């Protein structure tokens, strides 16, 4: 609890330092801070609009995939292989969802925590925690970052991102087995 508290205080401190420090520094340096701010902020709107088609493409496809129950079917198929390797059936759906949906994976992690007999301090709970913290919503990152500048050909970026997710998954399992297996 103390660690978490210290982190929260540090984060808010950095945030406030930036919010106060940047305008103050600019003002001291003779920048017309208000004008500059508004000019920069204008871009925020355009960027958000520009990424919409990219986000719709991936989230509609993922929505259909999840809605159809394909995620559960996939978990049933790979489950018998991954279970003995240290990836229990409770965590597997989370691992599948993670590259597509951060909030989806977090929701599944919450379910593991709330399941009687599992909970946050069980093997599944700890493994899920590390997995959530060490992998990223690759498809979302790609759509937003590339979408913002109109890039449609990602080249090797997708493969590199998915390799990172797979590595995060394997490393999480290996570490969890070593520590709590």
Partner 1 sequence: MNIVFVLLFVAAAIAGAVRGDLKSVGEGAFRGASDAVALALGLIGVMALWLGLLKIAERAGLVEKLAKAARPIFRPLFPDVPDGHPAISAMLLNIAANVLGLGNAATPFGIKAMEELETLNPHPGTATNAQALFVAINTASLQLVPTTVIALRASAHSSDPAGILLPTLASTLCALSVAIAVAKLLERVWK
- The secondary structure element, H or E, covering residue 168 is helix 157-180
Tell whether the torsion through CA atoms of 41, 42, 48 and 51 is positive or negative. negative
Whether 173 and 128 have beta carbons less than 8 Å apart is answered as no
- The residue (of 25 and 83) whose beta carbon lies closer to partner 1 is 25
* Assigned token pair, 59: 């989230």
Neighbours of 43 (CB within 10 A): 10
Smallest separation (angstroms) from partner 1 to the CB of 136: 4
- The residue (of 86 and 154) whose beta carbon lies closer to partner 1 is 154
Whether 93 and 71 have beta carbons less than 8 Å apart is answered as yes
- The residue (of 33 and 89) whose beta carbon lies closer to partner 1 is 33
Smallest separation (angstroms) from partner 1 to the CB of 2: 8
Smallest separation (angstroms) from partner 1 to the CB of 117: 14
Smallest separation (angstroms) from partner 1 to the CB of 64: 4
């Amino acid at each position: 609890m103390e660690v978490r508290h210290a982190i929260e205080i540090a984060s808010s401190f950095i945030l406030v330092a930036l919010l106060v420090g940047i305008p103050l520094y600019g003002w001291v340096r003779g920048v017309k801070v208000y004008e500059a701010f508004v000019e920069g902020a204008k871009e925020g709107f355009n960027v958000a609009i520009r990424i919409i088609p990219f986000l719709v493409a991936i989230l509609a496809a993922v929505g259909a995939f999840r809605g159809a129950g394909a995620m559960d079917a996939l978990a049933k198929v790979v489950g018998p292989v991954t279970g003995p390797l240290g990836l229990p059936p409770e965590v597997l759906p989370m691992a599948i969802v993670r590259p597509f949906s951060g909030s989806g994976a977090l929701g599944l992690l919450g379910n593991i925590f709330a399941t009687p007999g599992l909970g946050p301090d069980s093997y599944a709970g700890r493994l899920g925690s590390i997995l959530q913290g060490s992998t990223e919503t690759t498809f979302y990152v790609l759509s937003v970052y590339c979408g913002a500048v109109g890039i449609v050909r990602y080249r090797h970026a997708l493969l590199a991102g998915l390799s990172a997710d797979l590595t995060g998954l394997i490393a999480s399992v290996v570490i969890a087995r070593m520590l709590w297996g």
